Amino acid sequence: MSQDPDAGLRASLNHHKLFASSLLALMAGLTIASYAMPPSFGASLLRDAAKAGFIGGVADWFAITALFRHPLGLPIPHTAILPAQKERLGNALGRFIANHVFTEADIRKLLVNIDSPAILRRFLTDSTATRPLAEALASMLPKLLASIEDGRARRLLVRLLPRLIGGRAAGMVVARALAGLVEGGRHQEVFTFILGQLKETLAAREDVLREAIRERVAQQGGRLVGWAIGASVAKRVLSAVNQELERVGPDSSEMRDAFDEWVRHEITRLETDPARIAELGTALKSVLAHDTVKAWAWDVWARMRRSLELDAANPHGRSIAVIEGALGNVSDLLAQDTTAQARVNAAVESLVLRILPGAQAEGAKFIGRVIGAWDAATITEKLELRIGKDLQYIRVNGTLVGFILGAAINLVLRLLPVQP
C-alpha cells in the first residue's frame, strides 16, 4: 500500500484546526460562565470580551470554510467558492502568470543568467543524445535529395547555379581552393600527376605523333625534304620533349618553380582583379550551359544520390558518422569561439522573445484548462492542505482580536458617562 504523500500536511492542518476550534470553544465556555457569575466589573468585562471573541472566531470560521465548502453543508449563496469557480480562477491564474510572471523583461533577465552555448555543448558531447539526432537527420536526407529532383527545384537550380558561379563568390572559392593546395604543397602533386599523364600519352601515341611531325615537315619543306629529314626531325622533337619532361623532377625544377609562381599569381588575381574574376565566371557559365555538361552533371548527381540514400539508411554508414562528427565540431567551436557563443545567446534570446507572445497566450489557456479539469474535491483538498494552516491562524487571530476588542469596548464604555 502506497504512503500518502500529503500525510504530514494533513496532520499539521488537523492540529491547527483543533487549536483554533478549541480556542473558539473556550470563548463559548467563558461566555456561558460569565452569565453564571455574580454581577461585577470582572464578570461584565469577561462576558463582553468572550462574546466578541466568540463572534470573531465564528465569523472567520465561516469565511474560511466558505472558500472550500458549504458551511455545515448548507447551500448558502457565495460559499464553496473555489470548487464552484475553479474554471474562472484557473483562467485568471493563467493570465496572471502569463502576463506578470513570464514578461519580456523577466525573460531577458533569465536568459542573461543561462549559458545557452554550454547547454548546447553538453548536449552535443553526449553520444546518447547526438546519435539519435544524427540518425534523425540522416533519415531526412532522402527527402531532401528528392526535393532537388522536383522539376521546379531543378529548374530553379539550373537558373541560379550559373549566376552564383558567375559572381565574385566563385572567384573567391577557386582562390581559396588553390590557396589550400599551395599551402599544403598539393599543387605540385597535381602538377606531377598531369606530367605523368602527359608522359603516358606521349608514349602511347609516339608513332602517331612521329608521323604527324614528319608530314608537317614535308608540308613546309617539300616532299623531298620531308622524305630526307622528316623522320629525323620527328625523332629529335619527341626526344627533346621527353628529356624536358624528365628534367621536371619530383623536388624542384625551373618548370615547377614557374608553375608555383603562376599559381600564386593567379590566386592574387582571383582575389583582387575584377576582370579576372569576370573571365572565370564567364568560362564557368559557358561550361555549365553546355548540354553535355548538364547531362553529365545530372548523371553524376543521380549516382551520388543513390549512394547517399543507401548510406543514410545504413545505421553504420558514413552519413550518420559524418553528421555525428559535424555535431562534435560544432561543440568544439562553441567551446573555443567567443563570437559563436555570443551568436548562440543572441539567437536563443531572439527565438524565445519571438515566440513569447504566443507562448503567453497558450500558457494561460493551458493553466486554465488544467485547473478547470481538476476534480472539485481534489482541488479543494490540495489547496486546503497547502494554505489551510495559515488560514487557521486567521481564525485564531480573529478570536483573540475579538476578545481584546470586546474587553476594550467594555472599558471605554465604563469611562464614558453612559454605563454598559
Residues 130-188 pLDDT 10s? 888 888 888 887 777 776 655 555 565 566 555 555 555 555 666 666 666 666 665 55
pLDDT for 176: 65
pLDDT for 1: 47
Average pLDDT over residues 57-62: 91
* Residue 325's pLDDT band (cuts 50, 70, 90): confident
pLDDT: which is higher, 84 or 217: 84
Look at residue 323 and tell me whether its pLDDT is greater than 70: yes
In a domain, 355, yes or no: no
Mark whether 79 and 167 lie in a shared domain: no
For the ranges 10-19, 130-139, 204-213, 316-325, which has the lowest average pLDDT?
204-213
pLDDT for 24: 92
- Provide the number of structural domains found in the chain: 2
pLDDT for 224: 45
Look at residue 303 and tell me whether its pLDDT is greater than 70: yes
In a domain, 79, yes or no: yes
In a domain, 334, yes or no: no
pLDDT for 328: 80
For the ranges 14-18, 32-36, 81-85, which has the lowest average pLDDT?
81-85
Look at residue 366 and tell me whether its pLDDT is greater than 90: no
Domain boundary among 289, 317, 346: 289
Residues 85-135 pLDDT 10s? 777 777 887 888 878 777 888 888 888 888 888 888 888 888 787 888 888
Looking at mean pLDDT, say which of 169-183, 237-251, 361-375 comes out highest.
361-375
pLDDT for 227: 46
In a domain, 332, yes or no: no
* Residue 404's pLDDT band (cuts 50, 70, 90): very high
pLDDT: which is higher, 227 or 196: 196
Mark whether 278 and 186 lie in a shared domain: yes
Domain boundary among 289, 312, 337: 289
Mark whether 281 and 395 lie in a shared domain: no
For the ranges 222-231, 362-371, 400-409, which has the lowest average pLDDT?
222-231
In a domain, 206, yes or no: yes
In a domain, 214, yes or no: yes
Mark whether 180 and 80 lie in a shared domain: no
In a domain, 252, yes or no: yes
Average pLDDT over residues 54-70: 87
pLDDT for 226: 46
Mark whether 168 and 258 lie in a shared domain: yes
Mark whether 178 and 278 lie in a shared domain: yes
pLDDT for 236: 63
Domain boundary among 255, 289, 323: 289
Task: Write the secondary structure of the chain as one string of H (helix), E (strand) and C (coil).
Answer: CCCCCCHHHHHHHHHHHHHHHHHHHHHHHHHHHHHHCCCCHHHHHHHHHHHHHHHHHHHHHHHHHHHHCCHHHCCCCCCCHHHHCHHHHHHHHHHHHHHHCCCHHHHHHHHHCCCHHHHHHHHHCCHHHHHHHHHHHHHHHHHHHHHHHCHHHHHHHHHHHHHHHCCHHHHHHHHHHHHHHHHCCHHHHHHHHHHHHHHHHHHHCHHHHHHHHHHHHHHHHCHHHHHHHHHHHHHHHHHHHHHHHHHCCCCCCHHHHHHHHHHHHHHHHHHHCHHHHHHHHHHHHHHHHCHHHHHHHHHHHHHHHHHHHHHHCCCCCHHHHHHHHHHHHHHHHHHHCHHHHHHHHHHHHHHHHHHHHHHHHHHHHHHHHHHHHCCHHHHHHHHHHHHHHHHHHHHHHHHHHHHHHHHHHHHHHHHCCCCC
pLDDT > 70 in the chain, percent = 64
Average pLDDT over residues 315-337: 80
Q: Cα separation of 258 and 320, whole Å? A: 44
pLDDT > 90 in the chain, percent = 10
Average pLDDT over residues 390-418: 87
In a domain, 310, yes or no: no
pLDDT for 90: 77
Rounded mean pLDDT of the chain? 75
Cell of residue 203, nine digits: 608514349
Look at residue 19 and tell me whether its pLDDT is greater than 60: yes
pLDDT for 32: 93
* Residue 369's pLDDT band (cuts 50, 70, 90): confident
> Which residues span the domain enclosing 56?
7-84+375-415
